[in-house]
Every structure is written in structure tokens, then in C-alpha cells.
Structure 1
Amino acid sequence: MHQSSLGGFAAPHPTDRLFFAVMPPPAVAERVASLAGELRQQLRLRGRPRPTGHLHVTLHHLGDFAGLPQQRVDEACAAAASVELSSFEAHFDRVASFRGRAGKHPFVLLGADRATGLAGLYANLGTRLAAAGLARREPAFVPHVTLLYDALTIAPQPIEPFEWTVQEFVLIHSLLGRTEYRVLGRWPLAAGA
């Protein structure tokens, strides 16, 4: 006999997502958004570009929840506070599509081979999250910024490189289905040598 719910109640629908990210400074985000608009037109993509204030590199996804889990937020913030790294340059030099759901493939700005600082931050934060019992099984880390979602898939192609100095990382609370991000915490990186 198949049981469709627990105790006669359906599982709550996720409304909230938590993830750590690096966000480009506003001037760089504007340039990335402009590039997304230009490429959308050139490549005949139809997807709507992501809002400029939502452009980011995801470091670690903490999960989707029905309501904001304050204990998880507190534990994640404590883990993030223990990260000790210097600021670094983020480099992006290609665009391409990732495989996604049918009709909804992420079209992304991809990190250059020199994007080692992002990989280092990902690893350092991941170690702290694992020590706090917050680690999740994740695919290999590929530094990228999602520009839009589209039915077409675009093969990798070079672009004029984008760079910015990463001086902090953030914990973002995304309200699912509402296109709203709330920054719950910011952790500065030490000034570069």
C-alpha cells in the first residue's frame, strides 16, 4: 500500500532557500547585466535576464525549507565567521549553457582558469560547514554567474574578461517564487597582501 503523506499531512512546500555566495560590486553587476542583455539579443535567447541585484556566484547551498530555519542560520553564520582568507581577484572569461530542466537551461558566465580564489573560498567555507554538521553533497564546484534561463543551449564561447576584487561573502535568504533576496550576513575577507 502506497502512503502519499506522513500522518495524513502533505510535506510542507519549500518557501525559503539559504545559500552562501559572492556578489559582484554594483558597477561590475551592471556590466554583467549589460553583457547578458547584449548576448541575449546576439544569440537570440528569449529568457529574461536575472535581476542585477541577484547576480552572484553560489558557494554553498544550505537547503530549501518551509519557513526560515533560524537555528540553521545561526549555525551557518558561526561557521562563516571562522573563515580566514585574504581578498582575491575573481576572473570570468567565457559564457555557456549548463544542462537544466527541459526548456530551462542556465546560461552562465564561467570562471577563468585563474578563478582559483573562488575555489579556495569554496573549500575553506566547506570545511567550516562540514565541521558544523552543515555539509551537503554537492556537485563539483564550477565558478559561474547565472545570467538567464533559456530553452536554447549555447556552446562555450570566449568573452572579454570580467574581473573584480572579492572582499566579502554573504549568506542569502531567497524567498522562493518571489524573486526576493535578503542578505542575512556578510563576512569580510582580509585585505590582500
Structure 2
Amino acid sequence: MMTARRSPSDSPQLDLLGGDHAAPVELHRLFFALMPDDATRAQLQQAAVALKAQQASLRARWIDPARYHATLHFLGDHPMLRQDIVEAAKVAGDALRAVPFDWVLDFAASFHGREPPCVLRGSIVPEPMPQLWQRLREALIRAGQGGHMERTFTPHVTVAYSRGGMLETTPIEPVHWRVDRLALIHSVVGRGEYQTLYSWVLVG
């Protein structure tokens, strides 16, 4: 079971390949994300600081730790904030049933992209995580929001965007994350303002 709350003051980081570049036309982005608590966020920050020190030659744009999160589902870019999509997403979130689980992130790597994202990942993906992704995907499709649904899911937390080279796979001090919160995020592409529209606590 999950409990929902509206939280307009939170400011998580956008985590989608290519970063948050300015666009000539204002674009409103919506996505679901897993949100760390303060203790986990501090662990993620320590891992990023150590990685930055180890990769001194890597030219990268490092992300504000306040914006760390793990993207679960992307709901598209739109010329305005689409309240119909927001409400459909809330219906999907309200219908979701999921339990909290533990996720250990123990290595850093890169994805391909215009600015290759430097990400933290786990060698083992806990079974409840893809189950949560699949159940939310099915709920979004039932709510009429299947147009942007990905067919695969690679759990990660983006900590930087490289300005050139790719980051080789690198072990990190393990980060232990008790995943127990899901959020619906709104951002305007190219701006530093991010808003949590709704959040749900995974309560089992």
C-alpha cells in the first residue's frame, strides 16, 4: 500500500539523458522518481565527491546533491503543464501497491549521450525494484499515459554530465538506500526549478 501527499516545495534533480539544457521554447517535463532521504542523499554526495577526486581528468558538470534521485518513468515534454497528465499520473500512483526495499549502489559508470551522464548503479538490482517499475508502467498505461513508456529499466542515480569522455566502470564505497518514497516531478527544461507535485510513501 502507498500513501500520497502533495508537496509543492520539494526541489529534486532532473535525471534524464542529456541533462537540462535550455530550449528555445519552454518545455514542461513530467516524470516519476524514487527519492532518497537525507541520510542516503549524504551517502550519495560522499560517493560523488570521492568519484570526482578519483577522476580528476574528467571534465564534467557535477549535479547539486539536493537534486539526486532515480528516475522511474518519463511522462514527456510539453509546451505547458498538462493537468490532464498530472491527474492521470496521480490516479496511477494512487492505485499502486508496493513495499519498501533496500538498494545498494556500489559502482559508477556512464551512459551514452550528448553529455554522457555519470551515474551510480548497483551490481544487484533488488527484485522489488523492477516489479515497482512494471506495476507503475501498467498503471500508467491503464490511465492512458502509455505513449512515453520505456520497454527497459536501468536503475541509476545521475551525479554528473561529462563534457567529453566516458567514465569507466569504477567501484565506489557502497551506498545503502532504503527505497520508500516515490514522487511525481515537474520541471521546466533549462531552468533550475523542480517541483514535486505528489509523493507516495511505500508502506507495504
Give the TM-score taking structure 1 as reference length.
0.86
User: Could you tell me how far 1:76 is from its partner in structure 2?
Assistant: 0.5
Partner of 2:174 in structure 1?
A: 161
Give yes or no for the alignment of 1:62 onto 2:67. no
Please tell me whether the aligned partners of residues 92 and 162 of structure 1 are also in contact (alpha carbons under 8 angstroms).
Answer: yes
**Which residue of 112, 116, 125 corresponds with 2:123?**
112
Structure 1 residues 30-49: aligned runs within 5 Å: 30-44=42-56, 45-49=58-62
More relative contact order in 1 or in 2 (CA 8 Å, sep 6+)? 2
For the residues of structure 1 that align with 2:49 and 2:178, how far apart are their CA atoms?
A: 23
* One-letter amino acid matched to 2:46: S
Q: Percent identity?
A: 38
1:121 equivalent in alignment to 2:121: no
Equivalent pair of 1:111/1:142 in contact (CA under 8 Å):
no
- Name which of structure 1's ranges 109-118 and 122-131 shifts more when overlaid on structure 2: 109-118
Contiguous gaps of at least 5 residues in structure 1: 1-11
Structure with the greater alpha carbon radius of gyration: 1
**Contact 1:90 1:117 (8 Å CA) reproduced:** no
Q: For residues 148-171 of structure 1, give each alpha carbon's deviation from its aligned partner in whole angstroms, at most 9, with x where no partner exists.
A: 001221221222221121112000
Shift of 1:14: 4.2
* Offset, 1:139: 5.0
Which stretch has the larger CA shift, 107-116 or 140-149?
107-116
* Residue 15 of structure 2 corresponds to residue 13 of structure 1: no
Count of residue correspondences: 178
Residues 97, 154 of structure 1: 8 Å contact kept? yes
1:143 aligns with 2:155: yes
The alignment partner of 1:38 has SS state of helix
Determine whether 1:180 maps to 2:204.
Answer: no
- Amino acid of the structure 1 residue aligned with 2:88: E
- In the alignment, structure 1 residue 75 sits paired with structure 2 residue 88: yes
Query: Displacement of 1:36 after TM fit?
Result: 1.2
TM-align CA RMSD: 1.6
> 1:27 aligned to 39, 64, 71, which one?
39
Q: Could you give the per-residue CA deviations for residues 5-30 of structure 1, whole angstroms, max 9, x where no partner exists? A: xxxxxxx8242110000011112112
Letter in 2 for 1:172: I
Verify the 8 A CA contact 1:115 1:143 in the aligned structure 2: no
Q: Which amino acid aligns with 2:133?
A: Y
How far apart, CA to CA, are the structure 2 residues paired with 1:134 and 1:171?
A: 14
Per-residue deviation, 1:116:
2.5
User: How far apart, CA to CA, are the structure 1 residues paired with 2:122 and 2:161?
Assistant: 18
**Which ranges in structure 2 are unaligned for 5 or more consecutive residues?**
1-23
Paired with 1:58 and 1:146, the residues of 2 have a C-alpha distance of: 9
